[in-house]
Chains A and B, each alone.
Chain A
Amino acid sequence: MHWFQHLIAPGFFQSTEVQVALIIGSAVAITSAVVGVFVILRGQAFLGHALGDVGSTGAAGAALVGIQAIWGFLTGGLVAGTAVDILSRRSREREVTTGVVLSAMLGLSALFIYLITQVSSTTGVTQEILFGSIFAVNRHLVVPMMGLSCVALFLIAFIYRPLLLSTISLETAQSRGVRVRLVSLIFLFAMTMAVEQSALVMGALLSTALLIGPAATAIRHTRRLGYTMLMAAGLALLDTWLGIMLAYNSFYWPPTGRGWPVSFFIVTVMVLSYILSQLIPQPQSKRAQ
């Protein structure tokens, strides 16, 4: 059992911060993984990434006025998501519209972060916005974060069939009376919740890692959507738990004993598992030739 003690540093399960981190991390992992499967199938990874980035504008604004970062992230994502949806209705160029909205929001982000550094002398807030702060999360946020996860997962369950149908064939979906605009707007909301929640844990810059990584691996290794989502959720949980554990251990590591960022560990574990999964052959066709 000696190696085990080295793997998990003393006090891991007793620490409140760790408990909060594990609960919130798990909720975020499951939500991101499930939503992420549809994000990849719909080819919306860029939009997902942009939603994370623009969350930083909201979070920086929230830090300036002194409210919880998660509400800032959510506001930023919802404002940008709605703007992209309204603008791309007219121009049909979703990628370009996304790029324009992203630039506008990040410009504002630059200003807010500059203002933060002027009013406070630490770099901690900026670091937390950009790269995550799971051990610093207020434990009163556990309930709202679980609530956000439940809402996002409920929305996905609710639009599951029409979303799948319109992902595969927009025309068929329309012909069956699916209100495709409504469905894609609901999906956008679910995606925004998943991304912004993830931004709190992983930081604005890495918020799509949990969205894309586990889902991409799972898509490669399954052939039924239900299994894809289960596998993605399992992988995301594994990445998150290992990441949190290693981050906790890193409080005993150089240089300062303040701990390395959780997002670094989560992404490292994720990338390693992605590379490992590439070495495993894909399921073979059972088809008789």
Chain B
Amino acid sequence: MTSEAAITFNQVHMAFSGHTILRELQFNIDKGAFVGVIGPNGAGKTTLIRLILGLIRPSSGTVHVFGSPVRRGKRQIGYVPQSFVADPDMPLRARDLVGLGLDGERWGFAFPNHARQQRIQDMLDRVGATRYADEPVGTLSGGERQRLLIAQALLTHPKILLLDEPLSNLDIHSGHEIIQLVAEIAHDSHVTVMFVAHDMNPLLGVMDQVLYLAQGRAVVGSVDEVILPEVLTELYGQPVEVLRINGRILVFASGEMVPLTHSESIAHGHALA
């Protein structure tokens, strides 16, 4: 069973200075699965990603990746952040940003050579970023930047791709394009994907499993198994209703008008405490 799993959480507790963020996390993520990691702001989604990257250690329990304990800086895991810092003047071309994905952690310079340039160019083609490959990164749109970050993460051919809220700075259209791109690449290259989002709806067509986080706990399964009033009521510890309208799913606390997993409303204080 473990040999089939890409990621295994075994009784993971995570607390920061005595304050518990995640408790009793116990699940396997299958190899090649596209998993949507869904939950309100502050639910611990980023913490979960950092555990898998080995950037923090669980307070107790273990996290395994392909059967071995996690270690920082492993090339089998690719990470895509929300965005990156760059003024319009930043003297860095799109292809140089992507190139950092090859060996950005190594000491010293990267000396340009043909094989290196070719690998970068191939990846730029793969994510559809060739048109703006020589532009300064600071002048690119959110969607263009996100493609570069995905290319950067994929250059070392990771077997797992972790994306932490890649949609948060994008309009609906570019968000959709990014999801399709990731789904396509994941399928072609058999990459396991953990895609963090505060809204599950854009991911409904592509995700194999949903990992729903709330109140420090997680449920993992297909959308039809997890997004049910009983399951989420148990998870949130208070009555929850699930509405399906026109193929969209909305999760409400009973009696409240505001959906639980939309960051804007959560940020304004409607989340369950």
Contacts and interface: CB of A to CB of B under 8 A. Distances in A.
B136 interface: yes
B55 interface: yes
Contacts of A169: 81, 84-85
Interface stretch (A79-87, A118-126, A136-144, A220-228): A220-228
Interface residues of A, number: 34
B244 interface: no
Interface string B69-112: 00011100101010011100111110011001001111111100
A72 interface: no
A151 interface: no
B207 to A, nearest CB: 22
B135 interface: yes
A186 to B, nearest CB: 10
Contact of A175 (B55, B97, B110): B55
A161 B136 contact: no
Contacts of A203: none
Contacts of B225: none
Given A158-B108, A178-B105, A225 B132 contact: no
A227 B103 contact: no
B105 to A, nearest CB: 4
Contacts of B92: 164, 168, 223-225
A146 B121 CA distance: 40
A161 B100 contact: yes
A171 B72 CA distance: 12
Contacts of B55: 174-175
A164 B134 contact: no
A247 B72 CA distance: 54
A269 B164 CA distance: 47
A287 B100 contact: no
A173 B85 contact: no
Interface string B26-59: 0000000000000000000000000001010000
Given A167-B85, A175-B53, A224-B93, A161 B105 contact: yes
Nearest to B91: A228
8 contacts: A41-B90, A169-B81, A173-B105, A174-B72, A219-B91, A223-B134, A287-B135, A288-B131
Q: Which 6 pairs of residues, A with B, have the shortest CB-CB distance?
A: A177-B73, A175-B79, A165-B104, A176-B105, A228-B91, A169-B84
